[in-house]
Amino acid sequence: MGTQIRSFFANDTGDIPNNPTLPIIVYQGVFDDNLSMEDQFQQHNWTGTWTGDIYDYHHYHTNTHEVLGVKSGSATVQIGGDAGERLELKAGDVVVLPAGTGHKKIDSSQDFEVVGAYPNGRNPDLKEEDPGVRAQALSQIKNVPIPETDPVYGETGPLLHKWVK
């Protein structure tokens, strides 16, 4: 099947800012050997990797972008809040979430596991739906630098063409 790459924007919901200038990027079927996923992210300076699950409530990070690679299993993940897009993710898929992008797991197979990482190993904050922190969140999101590398392809990936400030 090969890799399919697409990108889309999520609108500000009032509770979740999402990202006004950078799209979410979905790489479908980019890894057939999931052992290399973590190594590849780290090699391209997306570090601070962890392996686990995705929270089952909407949350976002105002101080960093995030990459999520599906290591095993499959899941339905909602991106951008309640009115956002539902993604059917399976092993080998990767999603890059710009700072501010809401995400939550709706359901998954029992063996579902993701590898997460952040550009330059930034340490993510954790924000939940709250219109009261929106203004502050938006100003923080604007100041998150664009990564120098794509987490999957390094210096040549789609992120470098799609994420331009």
Give, as one character, the DSSP assignment of residue 1. -
| CA 156 to each of CA 52, 60, 144, 149: distance values in angstroms, whole numbers, following the listed order | 28, 27, 21, 8
Parse the chain into domains and list their residue ranges.
Answer: 4-148
Q: How far apart are CA 165 and CA 160, in angstroms?
A: 11
Instruction: Decide if domain 4-148 falls under CATH 2.60.40.1180.
Output: no
pLDDT, tens digit, for every residue of 126-165? Answer: 999 888 888 899 999 999 999 999 999 999 999 999 998 6
> pTM for this one?
0.95
